[in-house]
Structure 1
Amino acid sequence: MNRGCPAVAGLLLANLALGLPITPVEAHPVTVQSCDREITFDAPPQRAASNDVNLTEMMLVLGLTDSMVGYTGISGWNKLDETMREGVAELPELSARYPTREVLIGADLDFWFAGWNYGMRVGGEVTPETLAPFGITVYELTESCIHIMERDRIAIDDMFNDIRNLGAIFGVDERAEGLIAGWQDELDAIVQAIPEGEPLRVFVYDSGEDTPFTAGRYAMPSAMIAAAGGRNIMDDVETSWTRVAWEPVVARDPQVIIIVDYGEVTAEEKIAFLRGNPALAELDAVVNDRFVVLDYVEATPGPRNIAAIRTLAEAFHGSEGLATERAPE
């Protein structure tokens, strides 16, 4: 069983907001695209919050803790690892799961970084439109836009886009571009080292026994799997994260299964379920014990995606030839 490299967390922590001086650039007003909206900022937000662990790490890696009053939606799903626990140590959690509108208003926010099914639900009480009258501007996670608009595809560039836009919003453009350049160099090195051949059939198992929760065509793992030389067997499901039936999983017979590790059910318990279910025990990946475990924060858009692609590439093809130097961040 393959596990994400523990050194990744250390590399990330070294570049979080902890003690890093960040000097904002006076480039406002700035306008950025957020899903199907353009939003303009006359000045950097001063009372910001983020939802979920991966979005919060984007804020941290840009050095924005001084501009944050808290975060939402992490501990309720047991998503805090030691890296994140240290990174948010001085910030309060405003809500353990999805916040109510009253919670966000009560915290006197002027900015919330969230997404559809990352803190907001389509038609719910907490949306960009319902928060705007209270002076709270919402920037939406690019991956989540598929829930409210048509998109062509998912790409690693979507994560870069969010980092770049956050950099512009908070006036730390140089920091954002430096991170993106480092990640792009590392990604290029990984992709160039992947041997030619037919992409491996890969299934993403997040959770669920009666029906599995998985990554569809527009979820970040589809782009990560493709970059690592595989193909998400659910890439014809026209959404991001969703539930499917087990029958198509069996019919498509994945050669590798990615286990998303978080919550009360451990990765080991998820693998035991797959091995113990007679309908799934004969899958190629199960028979050959080809499981790759990724933490939730690695499988969703955020700073750990590139290192996770390396983990996938090494699991798919073996580590020989893929041990290129990790780009400095």
Structure 2
Amino acid sequence: MPGHSLARLVLPISALSLVLAGCGAQVAGDGEGGEASVATVKRCAEDVQYTVPQRAVVYEGGSADKLFVLGLTDHVRGYVMPPANPPVSQSPWASEYEQVEFLSDDLLNRELVVDANADFVVAGWNSGFSDSRGITPEILDTLEIMSFMHTESCFNYPDYPERVTPFEALFSDLERLGQIFDVEDQAEEIVAEMRERIAAVDAQVPDREPVPVFLYDFGEDQPFTAASQVPPNDIIRHAGGINIFNDLDARWAQVSWEAVVEAEPEVIMILDYGDTPAEDKIAFLRANPMMETVPAVINDRFFILNYNEGISGPRNIDGLEKFAEYLRDLDL
């Protein structure tokens, strides 16, 4: 399950003006004596000062992809990639991964960051940063190591929570990182292109009621699924579906099989990662007697979503386009 890096933690629409207000960086020019310029940018809802990082450590594919898509490979010291993640060789930025160092397949921790001589860390709250593991933005601040949190994960950040829809959170991250690294024009172009791609998908949605969709993450006794505050919710919505747990005000959530059956999903989206292949998850759902009356199972409607298309990152838009095409082709 995303958001906890297989630690199995149970964690888990707001106005666009919040994003726009949060994205306004104040950049000070070079001071006397060649001092580095400073940008004041939001880290969740907190104003934080940044100089341009030179040795970034990124946690998981979503963090790495956000820097790679902005052309910041030279600023990345290395990446941390737990084994649940798909191989980086499958990434659209495989060549960029080859240019930076693989630091660890462990969970993010303070010792790893310090040993790497990092000056900047990118991760999510409870998906990288963690009170229990002693690596938080506040702790890194005391070590004079800058940090940045995915806006999507700020939903349950206890100190400076921030709340926007998942796609808007992605755009906010790219814009804010653009300000931190002084590549604002590049960020604006990428965000504009992503918005155009989403608009193109919206324009092709069939004229019918939204298709009920259940995302299956993991779990046999009780399933884990995507609630309203994570990217699959926006992927499903823009593709012409409706997440059957859209009303849960959370990120990733544990639900009951009874609730899934009652919602009668027409499609089941499988999040593909970890040691359990998507095909095994589908086999489990087909064999689960609780699910035998569910339309998606009866009609064999399963869609596989790659892990890095489901966590916050540029590949969310790839996942949207693929799922939208799948829904358009369905004969309902």
% identity of equivalent residues: 37
Residue by residue, what CA displacement relative to the aligned partner does 1:246-302 show, whole Å, maximum 9, x if unpaired? 221111121111111111111111100000111113211111111111100011111
Aligned equivalents of 1:285, 1:97: Cα separation in 2: 36
In the other structure, the counterpart of 2:59 is 51
Return the offset for 1:86: 3.6
Of residues 167, 171, 174, the one that matches 1:160 is 171
1:188 corresponding residue in structure 2: 199
How many angstroms does 1:121 deviate by? 2.4
Match of 1:239 among 250, 253, 259: 250
Whole-angstrom distance in 1 between the partners of 2:149 and 2:108: 15
The answer for the alignment partner of 2:97 in structure 1 is 88
CA deviation map 1:74-107 (0-9, x unaligned): 2421422423344312322223131221111111
> How many pairs align?
294
Does the 8 Å CA contact 1:78/1:264 hold for their aligned counterparts? no
Aligned to 2:300: 289
Q: C-alpha offsets along residues 208-232 of structure 1, whole Å, 9 cap, x if unaligned?
A: 2222221111111111111111111
Separation (CA, whole Å) in 1 of partners of 2:233 and 2:95: 30
- Give 1:325's aligned residue: none
Q: Which moved more, 1:229-238 or 1:115-124?
A: 115-124
Cα distance in structure 1, aligned partners of 2:155 and 2:301:
31
Give the alignment's TM-score, normalised by structure 2. 0.83
* 1:165-180 map, 5 Å: 165-180=176-191
Matched, 1:68 2:76: yes
Shift of 1:65: 1.5
CA distance in 2, matches of 1:129, 1:151: 17
> What secondary structure, in the 3-state scheme, does the structure 1 residue paired with 2:271 have?
strand
The residue type paired with residue 51 of structure 1 is Y
Q: Distance in 2 between matches of 1:122 and 1:263?
A: 24
Deviation at 1:144, TM superposition (A): 0.4
Deviations along 1:169-199, one digit per CA (max 9) or x if unpaired, are 1111111111111111111111012122211
Correspondence 1:229 to 2:236? no
d(CA) in 1 for partners of 2:324, 2:157: 32
Instruction: Report the counterpart of residue 125 of structure 2 in structure 1.
Output: 116
Q: Secondary structure in 2 aligned to 1:138?
A: strand
How far off its partner does 1:57 sit?
0.9
* Native 8 Å contact 2:85 2:274 kept in 1: yes
Partner deviation per Cα, 1:83-140 (whole Å, 9 max, x = no partner): 3344312322223131221111111111101111220224541100111111111111
Q: Does 1:144 align with 2:153?
A: yes
Q: How does 1:254-269 map to 2 (within 5 A)?
A: 254-269=265-280
Gaps of at least 5 residues in structure 2 are 1-28, 31-36
The alignment's C-alpha RMSD in Å is: 2.1
2:259 is matched with which residue? Answer: 248
Distance (Å, rounded) in 2 between the aligned partners of 1:29 and 1:224: 35
Alpha-carbon distance change, 151 to 175 in structure 1, aligned in 2, over 3 angstroms: closer
Partner of 1:30, secondary structure, is: strand
Answer with 218-227 or 238-247: which moved more: 238-247
Of 124, 134, 141, the match for 1:125: 134
Aligned to 1:279, the other structure's residue is in SS state helix
Cα distance, 1:40 vs structure 2 = 1.2
Counterpart in the other structure of 1:39: 48
Provide the TM-score with structure 1 as the length reference.
0.84
Give the letter aligned to residue 293 of structure 1. I
Does structure 2 conserve the Cα–Cα contact (< 8 Å) formed by 1:75 and 1:97?
Answer: yes
